[in-house]
Amino acid sequence: MTGLDDFDRAASTVTGLVTAVRADQWALPTACADWDVRAVVNHLAHGNAKVAFWAGTAPPAPDGDYLGASPAEAFAESVTAARAVLAEPGLFTRQVTTPLGEVPGVFLVHMRVNEYLAHGWDIADATGRPTDFLPDLAERALRQWQSRFGAAPRRPGGPFGPEVEPRPDATPADRLAAFLGRKAVNG
């Protein structure tokens, strides 16, 4: 499997979760304390728009509403646009500038997959969908995050809260969410 295969699997799973969001679920709270379901999906769409900027092929993607009147459709379009950038020949081997500094372009794929896994879990949990998805990718992402954070304390106000103890029967995606400080809001 390639990085784009991982992206495709994660993007397809999250697109499926977004497509399944009912009209009455967009305002549900999520494990991201200040964000409802729509805000989480908008965050993912904004991140998809940032891929072109980080790849050096577009201007910065400003903050704002990336979902409009048709959130699921807009999200799917954002995934398609991000994938087109990620599939550009030579991107994986050249250096790109991200918030984490200069990295090989393939890192953009890892960033998106990790975002899809973490926030896909938020969407699934908030809307009562199963959180047992993409176990191999979730395990790999968990190892990456554990390697990056170790046991270091998380700064207040940062994107990840303190690690939460996962349930004994936790799926790989549940364990990833717990490591990132997520507490289920729907069960």
Q: Is residue 185 part of a domain?
A: no
Q: Is the pTM of this model over 0.85?
A: yes
Closest CA to 135 of 172, 169, 104: 172
What share of the chain in percent tops pLDDT 90?
A: 78
Check: CB of residue 35 under 8 Å from CB of residue 46: no
Q: Is residue 187 part of a domain?
A: no
Q: How many structural domains does the chain have?
A: 1
Q: Is residue 170 part of a domain?
A: no
Q: Please give the full DSSP string across 79-133, using - where no structure is assigned.
A: HHHHHHHHTSTTTTTSEEEETTEEEETHHHHHHHHHHHHHHHHHHHHHHT-----
Q: Is residue 146 part of a domain?
A: no
Closest CA to 49 of 36, 64, 29, 39: 64
Q: Is residue 141 part of a domain?
A: no
Rounded mean pLDDT, 15-44: 96
Q: Is residue 40 part of a domain?
A: yes
**What's the pLDDT tens digit per position in 3-13?**
799 999 999 99
Backbone φ and ψ of 95, nearest 5°:
-80, 140
Q: Is residue 169 part of a domain?
A: no
Q: What is the dihedral of CA 81, 85, 88, 93, to 10 degrees?
A: -150
CATH number at 58 reads 1.20.120.450
**What's the pLDDT tens digit per position in 45-84?**
999 999 999 999 999 999 999 999 999 999 999 999 999 9
Q: Is residue 152 part of a domain?
A: no
What is the residue range of 59's domain? Answer: 3-132
